[in-house]
Amino acid sequence: MRNQGLGSWPARRARKTPRRTALVHDDRRLTYAGLHERVTRLAHALRGLGVRRGDRVAYLGPNHPSFLETLFAAGALGAVFVPLNVRLAGPEISFQLADSGTSVLVYAPSHAGLVDGLGETPSVRERIALAGERPGAHGYEDLLARAAADPIDEPVSPDENCMIMYTSGTTGRPKGAVLTHGNITWNAVNVLVDHDLIADEVALVSAPLFHTAGLNMLTLPVLLKGGCCVLVTAFDPDATFDLIERHRITFMFGVPTMFQQVARSPRWADADLSSVRLLTCGGSPVPPSLIETYAARGLTFLQGYGMTEASPGALFLDAEHATAKAGSAGVPHFFSDVRVVGPDMADVAPGQTGEVVVSGPHVMSGYWGLPEETARAFTDGWFHTGDAARIDEDGYAYIVDRIKDMIISGGENIYPAEVEKAILADPDVLDCAVIGVPDPTWGEVGRAVVVPRPGSGLTAERVLDALTGRLAKYKIPKSVVFADELPRNAAGKILKSVVRGTYG
């Protein structure tokens, strides 16, 4: 095949395992042969709508087979896929469509009203509705039914653009990380190597596909290996138990809040989880109490660290070291290099705090349309993550916090993540965020925003007293406020800017 990118994956899988189930959604099963045919038809349909090499094709909707069909069909033509966050408001969607120069928008019925309200987006020439008749939009299934099924084999090289995935924007306006076919392929290879995936893997995909972890750390590696992905429109704790039992799920990814909701369900103690082999968690640190809860059921979290710009995997902590190196993000993935450096780009000594920088074939080519931002993000091929970490004597990395979230109190550096971890050790604390607030004496001091377990009677005094002797005095917050929940983005990361605006 001349296509060496993701667009060739369905064809390559169909010639090896045509009758194996690739996707399951609402009990509808799609084999690899069926996926290949639908992707080919969609590629012909997109070509008929004028899509050419380098054009952008966006998708707006929850997890559904058509998301992956659109990704692969765009790749088959050498076009660029733009997954859109379903939780964004109209103006945010309009910005990403205009910024990416999207020419074709595929959207789900759940977002038809939002799309209708977008008005004219100059670059968007065509709209494709997944279901129902919409004015000014083509019908997705109608396009496929009328399209040819002749093979398409456009020459696509690994270094060509595959996807523009917008960063979560926790610190400002989202930027489009440009991921090449090679970036995503090497990331998938890292997952295959470090997770020991097997061809009989059955993955539960309840994390959103528009987020890099749900797509690139779970779904695409499983499809590359020839396993099965069970796509779920939205995460639901009780439905998770049913799906695990019905489909004999072996592999699941989630952010900590998802796993917390599962563990708090009344069904937790008696549910049949015997098929589960891999539980991977990311987005934010896993509280020790949650690790212990799952360990009591014989389940081990495989934690990792990454970012959209790295496709996203950079560090990984395997099951063998999950206990001995608890709290660590692990060591670099097989085809990844990670360092912790000072301002001069020299490696810091073990135990010292520095910035995480990443290099490897999975790291993005740059930010879409932002050459100056791209230049600032790299030094001699090393991507600056903006995260602070330390490395132990064995080479295991411990993520401390976002550098820009650091609190400077009386000249001392306080990393909120360290304080949050200590507070979360209390089983009556469901969630926590520590922010800096002005102080006339110290310049800035910590404030803990805590989500208590309902009915626990948790008090501010108890939260702070529990930290005495565990943290240096200057690290202990000077105040505690309680909240019903903390704002998070689609990746599960706390939106510190929103927390500061509300409680700071």
pLDDT band at 170 (very low <50, low <70, confident <90, very high): very low
What is the layout of strands, in order, in the sheet containing 479-482?
429-439, 443-452, 479-482
Q: What is the pLDDT of residues 375-395, one digit of tens each?
A: 999 999 999 999 999 999 999
Average pLDDT over residues 276-283: 90
DSSP category for residue 204: E
For residue 243, the cross-strand partners are: none
The domains located in the chain, with CATH, are 33-157 (3.40.50.980), 184-402 (3.40.50.12780), 406-503 (3.30.300.30)
Entry pTM: 0.85
CA torsion 272→274→276→281, rounded to 10°?
70
> How large is the average pLDDT for residues 225-234?
97
Three-class SS of residue 407? strand
90-94, 431-435, 449-453: lowest mean pLDDT where?
90-94
**Around 481, how many Cα atoms within 13 Å sit in the side-chain half-sphere?**
16
* Angstrom distance (rounded) from CA 191 to CA 182: 14
410-431 tens-digit pLDDT: 767 787 888 898 899 999 999 9
Largest Cα–Cα distance in the chain?
Answer: 73
Span 134-163, pLDDT tens digits? 888 999 999 999 999 999 999 999 999 999
Predicted confidence band of residue 346 (pLDDT cuts 50, 70, 90): very high
How far is 62 from 67, CA to CA, in rounded Å?
A: 8
Residue 171 confidence class, pLDDT cut points 50, 70, 90 = very low
β-bridge partners, 203: 229, 251
